[in-house]
Amino acid sequence: MATTTNSSLTTPTKTPSEKSHSARHQKRNHTMLESSSSSKSRFEAYNRLQAAAVAFGEKLPIPEIVALGGQSDGKSSLLEALLGFRFNVREVEMGTRRPLILQMVHDPTALEPRCRFQDEDSEEYGSPVVLASAIADIIKSRTDAILKKTKTAVSSKPIVMRAEYAHCPNLTIIDTPGFVLKAKKGEPENTPDEILSMVKSLASPPHRILLFLQQSSVEWCSSLWLDAIRDIDPTFRRTVIVVSKFDNRLKEFSDRWEVDRYLSASGYLGDSTHPFFVALPKDRNTISNDEFRRQISQVDTEVIRHLREGVAGGFDEEKFRPYIGFSCLREYLESELQRRYKEAAPATLALLEQRCSEVTIELSRMDSKIQATSDVSQLRRFAMLYTASICNNVRGLIDGAADPAPEQWGKTTVEEQYESSIGGWPGVIAEIKPPNATLRLYGGAAFERVMHEFRCAAYSIECPPVSREKVANILLAHASRGGGTGATQAAAEIARAAARSWLAPLLDTACDRLAFVLGNLFDLALERNRNHDSEYGNKSGNMDGYVGFHAALRRAYIQFIKDISKQCKQLVRHHLDSVTSPYSLVCNETDFQVGFGSTAASVYKSNQCSVGWLSLELSDGGASGHEESAKDQENRPPEKSALQTTPGKGTEARDALRECQLTVPETPSPDQPCDPTYGGTKELGNGVDIGPRKRCSRMTGNNRNTDHVRFQNGGGILFGNRDGGVRSGSAYADICLSAAHHFSRIREVLVERNVASALNSGFLTPCRDGLVQAVELDLFAVNDEKFMDMFVAPGAIDVLQNEKQSLEKRQKILLSCLTEFKCVAQAL
């Protein structure tokens, strides 16, 4: 009524002449035609740009409408109404598993719908689909094909359909899979989550308009999917909310205040958000397109009539009439999209110019690659620069770097052990956890961690127990040689054999672990080089796409690491052989001489790792655990040292000589205490000096002298003396103790003096100083024919030519779109 009153107030009192009225009418029609032509040109330009974006994977901020909602909320019916004809899309659930981009083009000459599908992975459209019923079959077959190919329940790759019709608007809508609470039978259980994630991804770009549908039977406070839309667009600034199946709710309204309160959605959507209320025909019988459109118009009329006549007091038409009915929604969507097109045209034009420039540069690079296949010298130059850049990045990673991110590219100790397939340290039962074991490290930091892990593993091994038979075999063999050093030499020989047996596998494992750490640096160097090129420009030559060359480069690098690993194994084995040689002085150094009953001989260094490294603990809880490990690894010396006494010829000696009538074995048993001898140098336990053979007495059964039995060896190595007359163990026990001391000394000299410097110089020095020369010698010290095999593999030229043709096609389409948008921009 308010509209009628305003009209009557503005009606002129004088009737205009026919001539002036006709002129104004012609001018208005001309303006409308120009506006319609401009809108259509913009729409066509954006449609072409959208088709190119889908075909080539371009990310362009094209204004688009994205239809969202749950299954059975009326999205399919709304699309049919917008198209102006039916094609039974609901029968095959066309939007449930793959997005559908509907490009509706208003063409007054198309009295029957002309629908064409864009070819997969191409900007070209196929032949027109004659039967509307065949549209659903094509959508279904394409959806099934892509899901079978990707082996997934949903796919974000859209289907593009162009529909030209005299009764459809200029509108583009992306129909998305409907939200579901539970997967259909035969589908994965996570299908609802995948659909929600995909729809959010499609709706997130800020240049897209969200068309959210919800049935009228659902209350705002209990809407299942409104919160999901709010996550994407919290203020509903770019969301158009449509209440579908509005006719189902009309019978619940009796008074005006009820209708107005429902239409306002007060308290749920905000004051600036006005939902549309739409009802569509429910008759799904086969009818003509004209009848379908007539029914749509009839439903709109019936809804308005019911609100005016079926509700006491009607409704607030001035406020809510523009939002009720399908025709209002269609007009709004078309005008809103055209407005967005107009606003986005300048930015789209600038972006198109940028993309055209980028494609031109990329096409120029492709031409360079193709030309390089015939220019060997230029290709050699680029390849050598690239190889040197990769090797320099390896050196940088060894010297210390934080790029690329260690959190992503580094490895913990456990990951290194698992991925290298090496596992733990051989012969080590205790769990070895070096400092910083839980941190993700690479390069030089990971190398040092493995070095310290090797130290911990080596110090956790003690001299293994030796059988009495082995001791006897060594001891008695030395006894036959004379010299009186049998016990010492036996202990040293046992320690040397144990060191060779137990430390050699640790050295091999250390070399393998260090080689694995350095081998991983190749991929990190590639990533580091790629990041550097993207930031500072490509200065080392563009070698992307040369798969054969990259494979050869990787193979040369891995072979280099294998070679230096093999050399390091030989080097550390040489050091092991040196310290375990009978001619080595390691077991004869004074500070580490073990006397049998000697106080000085019981002093030796405990087997503890370097304190300096242990103090550099960066991971949580590492220090206390390592202190406990060091305690476990320590070989503690005896708490009391035996006192050395000089044999004499007093009463005790004379008493001992009276026992010569007792039977004495010709050779000693390793379980028995050692015999005393007097005079010259004696052998261990057999009472025989180096001159004529003499039988000596065994001091058995004499409690006074048993505790003073000793074996004198020039340097004071004694067996069996303890303070206070307490008897020590047998020769076997003393020899085992002495062997453990010698083993500890061998291990410390090997680990601290020899192996650490050998591994650093054997691994790191070649990687720093010789990597570039070794790799380039392997790759480039060949004739041109063999060199080109890395670049011109069978079919490689064809692949490059196909890529070039694709780029040329892409460039042509983008230039065409750019030309159209320049025209559009001039018309604005």
Out of 32-46, 172-186, 266-280, 788-802, pick the least confident: 32-46
- 183 alpha-carbon distance from chain centroid: 29
**Whole-number mean pLDDT of the chain?**
74
* CA 127 to each of CA 114, 141, 713: distance values in angstroms, whole numbers, following the listed order: 10, 16, 107
The pair of structure tokens assigned to 475 is 């001891």
- Residue 735: enclosing H or E segment and its boundaries? helix 731-748
pLDDT value at residue 54? 62
Residue 719 pLDDT exceeds 80: no
> Per-residue pLDDT for 167 more than 80?
yes
Asked whether 644 and 599 are in contact (CB, 8 A), the reply is yes
Give the per-residue pLDDT at 774.
92
pLDDT for 297 equals 92
User: What is the model's pLDDT at position 439?
Assistant: 92
Rounded CA separation 580/574 (Å): 10
For 330, half-sphere exposure in the C-beta direction (CA atoms, 13 angstrom radius) is 22
For residue 689, pLDDT beyond 60: no
Q: CB neighbours of 455 closer than 8 A, spacing ≥ 6?
A: 609, 610, 613, 751
> What is the DSSP code (8-state) at residue 322?
G
> b/e string for 277-315 if b means 16 or more Cβ within 10 A?
bbbbbeeeeeeebeebeebbeebbeebbeebeeebeeeb
Q: Which amino acid is at 434?
A: P
Span 762-807, pLDDT tens digits: 999 999 999 999 999 998 888 887 888 787 665 667 777 888 888 8
**pLDDT score, position 535:** 62
Does position 488 have pLDDT exceeding 50, yes or no? yes
Distances (CA, A) of 617 to 449, 620, 624: 11, 8, 10
User: Omega before 404 cis (within 30°)?
Assistant: yes
177-191, 502-516, 685-699, 793-807: lowest mean pLDDT where?
Answer: 685-699
What amino acid occupies position 411?
A: K
**% of the chain at pLDDT higher than 70:** 70
Mean pLDDT of 208-231: 86
Q: Would you say residue 539 has pLDDT above 80?
A: no
Three-state SS annotation for 108-176: CCCCCCEEEEECCCCCCECCCECCCHHHHHHHHHHHHHHHHHHCCCCCCCCEEEEEEECCCCCEEEEEC
pLDDT at 51: 65
817 or 777: whose pLDDT is higher? 777
Higher pLDDT, 18 or 464: 464
pLDDT at 325: 93
Residue of higher predicted confidence among 619 and 764: 764
Does the structure show a pLDDT above 60 at 712? no
**pLDDT (0 to 100) of residue 431:** 83
Contact (Cβ atoms closer than 8 angstroms) between residue 459 and residue 608: yes
Query: What sign for the dihedral angle of Cα 651, 652, 657, 662?
Result: positive
Task: Provide, rounded to the nearest whole percent, the portion of the chain with pLDDT above 90.
Answer: 16
In terms of residues, how long is the chain? Answer: 828
The confidence score (pLDDT) of residue 56 equals 59
- For residue range 116-155, list pLDDT tens digits in order: 898 887 767 788 886 777 888 888 888 888 888 888 878 8
Give how far the C-alpha of residue 200 lies from the chain's centroid of Cα atoms, to the nearest Å: 24
pLDDT of residue 722: 35
More confident call, 468 vs 555: 555
Q: What is the pLDDT of residue 272?
A: 78
Q: Is the pLDDT of residue 507 over 50?
A: yes
Taking residue 638's Cβ as centre, other Cβ atoms within 10 Å add up to 11
DSSP 466-508: --HHHHHHHHHHHHTT-SS-HHHHHHHHHHHHHHHHHHHHHHH
Global pTM reads 0.48
- pLDDT on residue 753: 84
For residue range 726-766, what is the model confidence (pLDDT) as tens digits?
Answer: 334 577 888 888 888 888 888 888 888 888 889 999 999 99
